[in-house]
Amino acid sequence: MEQPFSQVLPFVRRSKVIDEVDVGALLSDHADIREMCDRVEALADRLLEAPDHDERSAIADLIQSRFRKHVEITSRFLDRVFAGEQLRVGAGMLRRILLEQVAIGMHAEDVGEMLREKGVDDSRTDMLSYMLRCLFDGCRRLLDYEELAFLYLGARRYTPGARMTLEQALDGASH
């Protein structure tokens, strides 16, 4: 006679459902970064008008604080939603996000230093404009990639509302 519990059933890990609360902080942060990008782009467009040191320093502070916050919020989202997952394709996607964040973070530090310089002479204005444009373009591309990656990696785990919110953020991000 076979014992009722003699068969060992494999442990099945239930993946966490991803709801609107899970994506809320992330998308709020993405909106903040997109707003920062708009301000950086506006400054890049006005560099020939020689914005004053206080304005440039304020933008430098904004860039550095917002991007640091972005890295923290993204890390918390990844830990909460994808920690412990065995991702076949996703590991490379997540690694790319982290590497892009490091690269943009380093670029943001360089841009911040240059913006804080007392006087940016005409010979360096073009270089600063280029650096600012690379920064906001890189940030926007990173946000789009993150949102696409999270949609893919979360697959069927999103509630309909969370999926719609994430898709709307991505649709509204076109520049």
Identify the CATH number of the domain in which residue 80 sits: 1.20.120.1730
Structural domain boundaries, residue 43: 20-170
Q: Write down the pLDDT at residue 173.
A: 67
Report how many domains make up the chain: 1
**Mean pLDDT across the chain, nearest whole number?**
87
Please check the confidence at residue 72 and state whether its pLDDT lies above 50. yes
Percent of the chain with pLDDT over 90: 63
Dist CA 147 CA 88 (whole Å): 18
Residue 8 has pLDDT above 50, yes or no: no
Residue 4 lies in a domain: no
Lowest mean pLDDT among 17-21, 81-85, 109-113: 81-85
CB contact burial 54-64 (16+ within 10 A = b; e otherwise) = eebeebbebbb
